[in-house]
Structure 1
Amino acid sequence: MNGAPNAPSAPSAHHADVVIIGAGIAGLSTAHHLTSAGVTVAVLEAAPYVGGRMATDEVDGFRLDRGGRPLITSYPELLRTPGLEGAAVRMFAPGVLVHSDGRNYRTGAVGSTRSARSALTVARALASAPRPPLGGAGGALDQARLSAALGRLAATPTDRLLARPERTAREALAARGLPARTVSGFVRPLLSALLCDPELTTSSRCADLALRAFARGRLFVTAGGAATLPELLARTLPPGTVRTGVCVTDASINNVTTKEHGEIGCRSLVLATGARAAAELLPGLRVPDFHAVTVLHHTAPTPPLTDPLLLLDADRGGPVAHTAVMSAVDPSRAPRDRVLISSAVLGTPPPAAELDRTVRAHLARLYGTPTDDWELLAVHHDPEAVPAMSPPHDLRRAVRLLSGLYVCGDHRDTNTVQGALFSGRRAAHAVLRDLGVRPAREQASLSAVA
């Protein structure tokens, strides 16, 4: 095979060029790059839905994400992954709201991009936009230092960031001359939201990449919930490519056995599951440590905040790391005239019997309003929500284990949607090289709605 036909065929019931185990964002990205090059693919998913940890539950008309991290418009893989052209996004207001010393400060804001037509346009505009003073991050000199540091990160090429000495993010920030107040009042709570690591044990290189992404772009969510991205990717693959509710009992390079469909022959196998599930199928594969995340969703009679801002807690005065009135960011996540507040607790949460009470008390302080009449809609705890990236961390862990056997996911790259998508592309290109197929060249664009 050579090049990319206009209409890749779907796999047969018992054979495909490539079998992908796992229909998370990495596996679906791999499938799109492969089918765009004319390769037949079968994506097998044990769950009854696609998306893995990017799942959204529907409860009484609310759309509730199981994960708690925002996306950033400057993630390049959102623009490079075929199939994401129709994804609508909902922007947070520029910057973030930080609760520090018992007060809320608007920080890190950039110029308005309400008229932007695409995420790429947003990212380019923000890369050169002036930043106003950063309240809550120290005095005028501290704010100037922080703005200068973010500006330098935004302009630094990736290879130069990755050439820096690697240490923990906490050690690197202390060595760069940023005042402790600035780190604790802005950088630490921001990285907690982006990387789910409040203790800043993450590799400094990974932290720099996350901060640079923030400096270059805007925080956003996908309209309708996190599941929108994987659902869109699955829908735009050739019919019959994705099969959910399929339990794989045995797998090899040229044959996969399932309970539901028997044996499926193939030429290559891609493991696109989480790290632990991949290690169960392939003993010896390294399983990283993880950051646990608990997401709570509440509804309230009136919105505690009308602006679509991400609220971070710099005081660490309770279990909540960050929270947002999600119905203000994305109205489609709540029924008409209803309010949705989504909050994330990092690490080990309080005991279940007191979790809601403790979180509700903390939210009352963060939003400055009583929460006694708020209703808890759902709680989702994932002890392995985010793979840890402690130093030394290999940002480009091998996706090709041997010819015909590949692995991808956020545990092979960075622990973000960007990392998962990029690992999927790397795996697909490794497969294509071994099959002797030239990758197709596509460019996707997200439609941005402020």
Structure 2
Amino acid sequence: MSGIDVDVVVVGAGLAGLRCAGALRRRGLDVLVLERSDAPGGRVRTDMIDGFRCDRGFQLINPSYPAIQRHVDLDALDLQVAGRGVRVVDADGGVHTLADPFRHPDLAAATVTSAASLRLLRPKAVVGAVRWALPAMGPVRRLQARPDAAVGDDWDRYGVDGPLRDSVLLPFLSGVLADADGATSDRYVRLVLRSFLRATPGVPADGMQALPDQLAASSDATLRYGVEVEGIDEAGSSVTVRTGDGQSTVARAVVVAGDAVDAAQLTGVDTSPMRGLATWWFAADPGLSDPFLRVSGSGGPLANTAVMSAIAPGYAPADRSLVQASAVLGDSDPVDESVVRSELARLWQTSTTGWELLTRNVIRRALPSQAPGLPVRRPVRVGERTVFAGDHRDTPSLQGAMVSGSRAARAVVGLL
């Protein structure tokens, strides 16, 4: 076709864009990926700071995700898994361990004792939690076909209340969903629960950046970094992609693989609102070695905290520890660092005065909002020659991003 520079332009080198580009190249199409940043990954990036690996926000890879199993070499990532469970810190500073007894049999007695101390074993709440969780064990299609509501409302309906809800479920899920109020789709939360039941999440030994780096290297597409896409113009059997450097590329199709806000701004097509998270990264003394996620069972400014170097030793120099602390962002600015340090001192039962703040990530667009009633899978083709890819088209997760990339590739092949 005369006047065509490339078969497909992919806007964005996040997980969705990279997965899409790789799938299209395997179909023999010529693919150009344009990324405004200086490296692949989108929201999945890692910064090296004084020998510490600081991911841009607290993120984990769940090896049970089908798209991860299908398209990622997990052995090459050398996934370092976290403790399978959570430590809950009560209002008096008591630390309670809730661990999977099959993965951590030495903590079985402590888990029973902690559950009793936290008053988690109230029959009504336990029965309600089991009834609520059971659909997550069945087929995904049946789960997706169930009526939907906000997870908080569904917990009300099942009688999931008291400490089990307020001290464990909501604090733990707030960091996973960027939702501190239980407003997320119950149908999606059950999918999240399903993935946690099937495997223990972790991080690559070299940081989360290793994931997009692997996808970029295997994509066989042409990648250009530092390029801002300013406009997309469809015209009959082609589409023109205009960039900030004054250049234009004519393609047979374009895949917009940015986040929900960028995709909407570039195309005018309505997408999902985004939820935010803030993460502080501290260099601490080497004494902290707990691989379990830690949450407050009595409320507070943080969603969770973890010693990343206890999960993946390569995240920190041998003589230091790396601690992350994450908070859900509302409309206001993140809490002050002094508040974070005070809460961390309570959660870790140690002074944080000497901890060095390495960096703070304020990510206003961390995850798309998965509102009740919103389909888990949404259309990717949004124009005659324009296709979407991104976790706003599927679930707000690494799985959703990669699945959307595969779906976008199939849609492009179909329209070409």
**Structures share fold, TM-score greater than 0.5:** yes
Over the matched positions of the two proteins, sequence identity in percent amounts to 33
Partner of 1:266: 251
Note the C-alpha offset of 1:349.
Answer: 8.7
Cα deviation for residue 291 of structure 1 reads: 1.7
Alignment partner of 2:156 out of 174, 184, 189: 174
Q: Give 1:137 deviation, angstroms.
A: 5.9
| 2:286 alignment counterpart | 302
Residue equivalent to 2:295: 312
Counterparts of 2:332 and 2:258, CA distance in 1: 29
Aligned to 1:225: 207
Q: Tell me, in whole angstroms, the C-alpha distance in 2 between the residues paired with 1:381 and 1:87.
A: 26
**Does structure 2 retain, via aligned residues, the 8 Å contact 1:24–1:273?**
yes
Give the structure 1 partner of residue 49 of structure 2. Answer: 59
Is 1:50 the equivalent of 2:40? yes
2:308 pairs, out of 302, 319, 326, with 326
Contact 1:74–1:217 (Cα < 8 Å) also in 2: yes
1:98 partnered with 2:88: yes
The verdict on how the C-alpha distance between 1:76 and 1:110 changes in structure 2, with shifts beyond 3 A counting, is farther
- Closer, same or farther in 2 for the Cα pair 1:393/1:428, shift >3 Å? same
Match of 2:390 in 1: 409
Does the CA-based 8 Å contact 1:192-1:321 persist in structure 2?
yes
SS in structure 2 at match of 1:236: helix
CA deviations on 1:193-246 (whole Å, 9 max, x unpaired) are 2211111100111111111111222121222222211111112222x6111111
Higher helix share: 2
Is 1:275 aligned with 2:260?
yes
CA distance in 2, matches of 1:197, 1:248: 31
Counterpart position of 1:380: 361
Distance 2:128 2:21 in 1: 41
- Check whether the contact 2:261–2:273 (CA below 8 A) recurs between aligned residues: no
Which of 165, 171, 184 does residue 183 from structure 1 map onto? 165
CA distance in 1, matches of 2:209, 2:367: 17
CA distance in 1, matches of 2:222, 2:71: 17
Q: Aligned to 1:332, what secondary structure does the other structure show? A: helix
Residues 26 and 408, structure 1, Cα contact 8 Å, conserved in 2: yes
Alignment of 1:426-437 (within 5 A): 426-435=407-416
Report the equivalent of 2:29.
39
CA 1:377 to 1:369, structure 2 compared with 1: closer, same or farther past 3 Å?
same
Q: Distance in 2 between matches of 1:301 and 1:321?
A: 22
Q: CA deviation at 1:248?
A: 2.0
- Which consecutive unaligned segments of at least 5 residues does structure 1 have? 1-13, 115-131, 436-450
1:201 to 172, 176, 183: 183
Q: 1:398 to 1:84 in 2, by over 3 A?
A: farther
Shift in Å at residue 146 of structure 1?
7.3
- State how far apart, in whole Å, the 1-side matches of 2:309 and 2:31 are: 38
Q: Is contact 1:153–1:211 with CA below 8 Å preserved after alignment?
A: no
Matches within 5 A, 1:3-402: 15-81=5-71, 86-102=76-92, 103-112=94-103, 133=112, 135=115, 136=118, 138-139=120-121, 141=123, 145=127, 148-149=130-131, 152-238=134-220, 241-253=222-234, 254=238, 255-260=240-245, 262-283=247-268, 285-304=269-288, 306-316=289-299, 318-348=300-330, 355-402=336-383
TM-score (norm 2): 0.89
Is contact 1:94-1:110 (8 Å) kept? no
Q: Is the alpha carbon distance of 1:105 and 1:180 closer, same or farther for their aligned partners in structure 2, counting shifts above 3 Å?
A: same
| TM-superposed deviation, 1:110 | 4.7
Aligned 8 A contact 1:271 1:407 in 2: yes
One-letter identity of the residue aligned with 2:228? C
* Structure 1 ranges of 4+ moved more than 3 A: 82-85, 140-151, 348-352
Query: Deviation per CA, 1:246-266, whole angstroms, max 9, x where unpaired?
Result: 122332342223344833221
* Residue aligning to 2:108: none
- C-alpha separation in 2, matches of 1:227 and 1:87: 10
Aligned length: 400
1:151, CA displacement in angstroms? Answer: 6.6
Q: Provide, for residues 394-434 of structure 1, a one-character-per-residue CA deviation record: whole Å limited to 9, x for no partner.
A: 21111012442100111111111111111111111111222
CA shift digits 1:305-354 (9 cap, x unpaired): x23111122211x21110100011111111222110011011249867x7
Instruction: State how far apart, in whole Å, the 1-side matches of 2:103 and 2:318 are.
Output: 27
TM superposition shift of 1:373: 1.4
Residue by residue over 1:357-413, the C-alpha shift from the partner in whole angstroms, topping out at 9 and shown as x without a partner, is 100000111111121111111111112222111222121111012442100111111
Q: Residue 397 of structure 1 contacts residue 412 of structure 1 at CA under 8 Å; is this kept in 2?
A: yes
Q: Is the partner of 2:76 in helix, strand or coil?
A: coil
CA distance in 1, matches of 2:73, 2:389: 18
Report the counterpart of residue 422 of structure 1 in structure 2. 403
Whole-angstrom CA distance in 2 between matches of 1:349 and 1:257: 33
Answer 1 or 2: higher relative contact order, Cα 8 Å, separation at least 6: 1
Match of 1:119 in 2: none
